[in-house]
């Protein structure tokens, strides 16, 4: 690899400033260049003819948002491929997702994009206007060039093995039914939804330990404390996901009056969207997990957990305060997204009210170690326009382990008079049902898992928006799976789902 062609990102602004001061005309092309094909070569050769030096800015591996298995070739190999091209003078590895920072780094005289991007309909990600503004801001101009058009993503999807065969078959079939522009518009349609998120606030505390072994006398795990972080979980995680797609969401929950909880809540819920009841006698729920530090390429190792929560239900007065706010807000919403974790907030009067008044009710009634066998969806609820549950929750609702899952899901859907029903089965598949459409069986989109905690909440959040917009069940299920695929790459709920990442990965997977 030619080291003289590769300019570190931090040093690049000063380096290119020197070239410009010498009177050199800089041309820039930006991309992932995951699979270099004839279209790329012709594009780069044409770009080089427009100036004195061609700078290619390359998105680093960590910032490629093309979905599972991408980039197919790592940044070292992609750099090597570009340095082998005589038309390329300099290459910069860029630690950002988009091109704006790359443009500001190089400050090109001419910024080149493929001819296809001159058509606004082709720019399904909506990135070109921002790039044009950035180029104009640094005094450059944009050129749309190239004579042969190929798609690296399409070639990879059709002929390479970064996708499992079930995923490839599912996405190829979906691509026949929905264009990438239709997919983009479906996600954009969420922006106008008025969403009321209701449910238990949970804070997930991750305590990282270096395991030293077993103590000599009692044979218990001994570990050296490293660090700790607290994340938003439960219904608060759902709210954070939904806020990435619409700013018209509100949050109704119950917390204590601890100072740390108020600060955390305010950091993630704007005051105008916060309907949360603060109660001095209530303990804000914390689920503390003791874990080992993350090892690259491996799922997080969890040692044990400790839960901080009240054994007794909230008082009748607290429930009345929540009910008053719920009555006031429920009629203003297009959809109520209810995340019931069985930690005390959702008492019978609130469950009855939300089922009776919600214009559209999307429900997730979770089983966990604290409520196992008690917070069962078909015992607590009789109505939901859409719902999600996992295998364990399905078995508990059916009252047996050996199940025909599609049949049992259909029976539960019929009981609730639901329009949509989803059963998430982790690494097996997700089953989606709709009252007037064929059943959808969607395989997991991501094989490299960091942490499964939070993946179900991510699926539920995005599927709820799709249900509110009455999207076809296969498209709605795909959207939920895209959210879950993002979530399993994140420790717990450290970050909300990124709308940009979901759009880019979805359109990449539909490129057949």
User: For the segment 270-319, what is each residue's pLDDT rounded down to a tens digit?
Assistant: 999 999 999 999 999 999 999 998 887 778 888 989 999 998 999 999 99
CA dist 135 and 505 (Å) reads 26
Reply yes or no on whether the pLDDT at 84 is more than 60: yes
User: For the segment 140-188, what is each residue's pLDDT rounded down to a tens digit?
Assistant: 999 999 876 778 888 888 888 888 999 999 999 999 999 989 999 999 9
pLDDT greater at residue 301 or residue 200 = 200
Reply yes or no on whether the pLDDT at 114 is more than 60: yes
Least Cα distance to 468 among 332, 361, 353 occurs for 361
Q: Average pLDDT in the 179-207 region?
A: 96
Banded pLDDT at 127 (limits 50, 70, 90): confident
Decide if 199 contacts 238 (C-beta within 8 A): yes
Q: Average pLDDT in the 470-485 region?
A: 97
pLDDT greater at residue 474 or residue 371 = 474
CA 466 → CA 348, 474, 475, 481, distances in Å? 28, 10, 8, 12
Q: Which of 5-9, 220-224, 295-299, 453-457 has the lowest mean pLDDT?
A: 295-299
Q: Average pLDDT in the 474-491 region?
A: 95
β-sheet bridge partners, residue 390: 424
Burial class (CB in 10 A: 0-12, 13-18, 19+), 11: exposed
β-sheet bridge partners, residue 143: 112
Where along the chain do its domains lie?
12-162, 190-202+231-284+309-509
DSSP per position, 210-242 = EEEEE-TTT--EEEEEEEEEEEEEHHHHHHHHH
| List of E strands, 399-504 | 420-424, 430-434, 437-442
Identify the CATH number of the domain defined by range 190-202+231-284+309-509.
3.40.1190.20
The dihedral formed by the CA atoms of 97, 141, 20 and 15, expressed in degrees to the nearest 10: 0
| List of E strands, 366-506 | 386-390, 420-424, 430-434, 437-442
Rounded to the nearest angstrom, the gap between the alpha carbon of residue 61 and the centroid of all alpha carbons in its chain is 18
CA dist 242 and 469 (Å) reads 14
The tokens for 260 are 């740390």
pTM score, whole prediction: 0.86
CA 228 → CA 109, 207, 209, 300, distances in Å? 47, 4, 9, 15
pLDDT of residue 512: 87
The two domains 12-162 and 190-202+231-284+309-509 share their CATH topology (first three levels equal): no
Identify the CATH number of the domain defined by range 12-162.
3.40.50.620
Determine how many CB atoms are found less than 10 A away from the CB of residue 273: 18
Q: Average pLDDT in the 260-279 region?
A: 96
């Amino acid at each position: 690899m030619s080291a003289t062609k590769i300019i570190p990102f931090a040093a690049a602004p000063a380096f290119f400033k020197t070239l410009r001061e010498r009177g050199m005309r800089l041309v820039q092309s930006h991309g992932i260049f995951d699979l270099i094909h004839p279209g790329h070569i012709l594009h780069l050769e044409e770009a080089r003819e427009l100036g004195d030096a061609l700078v290619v800015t390359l998105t680093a591996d960590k910032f490629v948002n093309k979905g599972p298995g991408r980039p197919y070739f790592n940044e070292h190999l992609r750099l090597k491929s570009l340095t082998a091209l005589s038309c390329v003078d300099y290459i910069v590895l860029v630690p950002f997702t988009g091109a704006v920072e790359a443009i500001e780094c190089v400050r090109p005289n001419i910024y080149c994009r493929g001819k296809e991007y001159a058509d606004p309909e082709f720019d399904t990600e909506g990135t070109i206007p921002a790039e044009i503004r950035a180029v104009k801001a640094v005094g450059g101009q944009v050129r749309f060039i190239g004579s042969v058009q190929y798609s690296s993503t399409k070639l990879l999807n059709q002929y390479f093995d970064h996708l499992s065969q079930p995923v490839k078959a599912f996405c190829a079939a979906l691509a026949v039914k929905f264009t990438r522009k239709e997919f983009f518009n479906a996600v954009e349609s969420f922006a106008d939804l008025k969403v009321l998120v209701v449910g238990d606030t949970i804070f997930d505390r991750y305590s990282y330990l270096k395991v030293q072994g077993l103590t000599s006398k009692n044979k218990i795990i001994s570990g050296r404390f490293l660090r700790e972080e607290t994340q938003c979980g439960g219904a608060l995680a759902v709210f954070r996901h939904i806020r990435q797609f619409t700013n018209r969401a509100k949050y109704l929950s119950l917390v204590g009056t601890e100072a740390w909880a108020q600060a955390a809540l305010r950091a993630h819920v704007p005051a105008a969207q916060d309907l949360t009841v603060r109660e001095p006698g209530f303990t804000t729920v914390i689920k503390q997990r003791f874990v080992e530090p993350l090892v690259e390429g491996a799922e997080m190792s969890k040692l044990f957990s400790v839960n901080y929560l009240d054994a007794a239900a909230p008082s009748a007065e607290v429930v009345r305060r929540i009910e008053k706010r719920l009555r006031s807000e429920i009629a203003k919403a297009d959809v109520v997204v209810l995340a019931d974790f069985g930690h005390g907030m959702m008492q019978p009067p609130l469950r009855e009210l939300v089922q009776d008044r919600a214009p559209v009710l999307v429900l997730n009634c979770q089983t966990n170690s604290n409520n196992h066998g008690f917070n069962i969806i078909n015992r607590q609820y009789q109505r939901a326009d859409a719902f999600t549950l996992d295998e364990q929750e399905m078995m508990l609702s059916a009252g047996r382990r050996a199940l025909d899952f599609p049949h049992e899901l259909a029976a539960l859907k019929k009981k609730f008079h639901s329009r949509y029903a989803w059963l998430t089965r982790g690494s097996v598949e997700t089953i989606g049902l709709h009252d007037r459409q064929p059943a959808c069986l969607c395989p997991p989109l991501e094989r490299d898992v960091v942490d499964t905690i939070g993946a179900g909440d991510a699926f539920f959040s995005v599927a709820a928006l799709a249900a509110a917009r009455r999207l076809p069940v296969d498209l709605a299920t795909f959207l939920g799976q895209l959210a879950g695929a993002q979530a399993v790459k994140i420790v717990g709920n450290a970050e909300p789902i990124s709308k940009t990442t979901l759009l880019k990965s979805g359109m990449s997977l539909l490129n057949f």
